[in-house]
Amino acid sequence: MSLSIRLSHFLVDLFAAKGWIEEDGEIAYVVGLDVIFSTLTDWMAIGILGLIRGRLLEAFVYLLFVLTVRRYSGGYHASTRAGCFSIFVGFYLLTDLFTVGVFKNAGSLFLIIYSVSSMIMGELIFYLFVPIGNDRKKYTEEWLISARKKAFICLNVWYCLAVSLAALRIELFGQIIAASNIVVILILMRKRREGK
């Protein structure tokens, strides 16, 4: 049993003993607390890595991008919490290393071609495949249509923000573009998995 599950059980038992929750709803509280703890662990890991690398603002941008866009677009879901954590943090490190390496050193023409092609690819993949649901959840047709619209809105708001930041801070622009590529990769990973 994972640490977050054990902590969730401990807190739920404590809350039930104090009479703060009813015993018949304990499992819902355990699941809810476990989700909160695992989410906080992901966020803290990204924040700590951003702080260590001296790129806290860029880490925050990556985190916000993935939280807002991926919420509606969906994508690959790992089968374990450890896998999810590894993918989330690993992709952040790849994104950040790529952004530092490319956006500090590449020429303007390359950055323009890379950025424009990334945005076009993002729009195309979102048009073709979004939203991708989670096998563990049931969705109504109304929710799927709404999620598709929200995913496109979020993606395009981020693209507009990226373009407006390009002149001010090229690395924030690069972080947004690279984060969008990560979400596209997660969507394509899920489509490939569905195709098997």
Same domain, 125 and 176: yes
pTM to 2 decimals?
A: 0.78
DSSP symbol at 172: H
Same domain, 75 and 144: yes
Within a domain: residue 174? yes
Q: Who's near 40: CB < 8 A, 6+ residues apart?
A: none
Based on the number of CB atoms within 10 Å of its own CB, is 103 exposed (0-12), middle (13-18) or buried (19 or more)? buried
How many structural domains compose the chain? 2
Same domain, 32 and 71: no
Same domain, 36 and 106: no
Same domain, 13 and 69: no
Within a domain: residue 184? yes
Write out the H or E segment, with its range, that includes residue 114.
Answer: helix 108-129
Tokens 């703890």 -> residue: 37
Q: What is the DSSP string of 132-169?
A: ---TTS---HHHHHHHHHHHHHHHHHHHHHHHHHHTT-
Within a domain: residue 4? yes
Within a domain: residue 102? yes
Mean pLDDT for 47-54 is 92
Is the pLDDT at 188 greater than 70? The verdict is: yes
pLDDT value, residue 195: 66
Is the pLDDT at 22 greater than 80? The verdict is: no
pLDDT value, residue 149: 92
Q: Which domain holds residue 154?
A: 56-80+96-195
Same domain, 113 and 145: yes
Within a domain: residue 91? no
Task: Say which residue, 194 or 44, is predicted with more confidence.
Answer: 44
Same domain, 6 and 65: no
Is the pLDDT at 108 greater than 70? The verdict is: yes
Same domain, 72 and 168: yes
Within a domain: residue 90? no
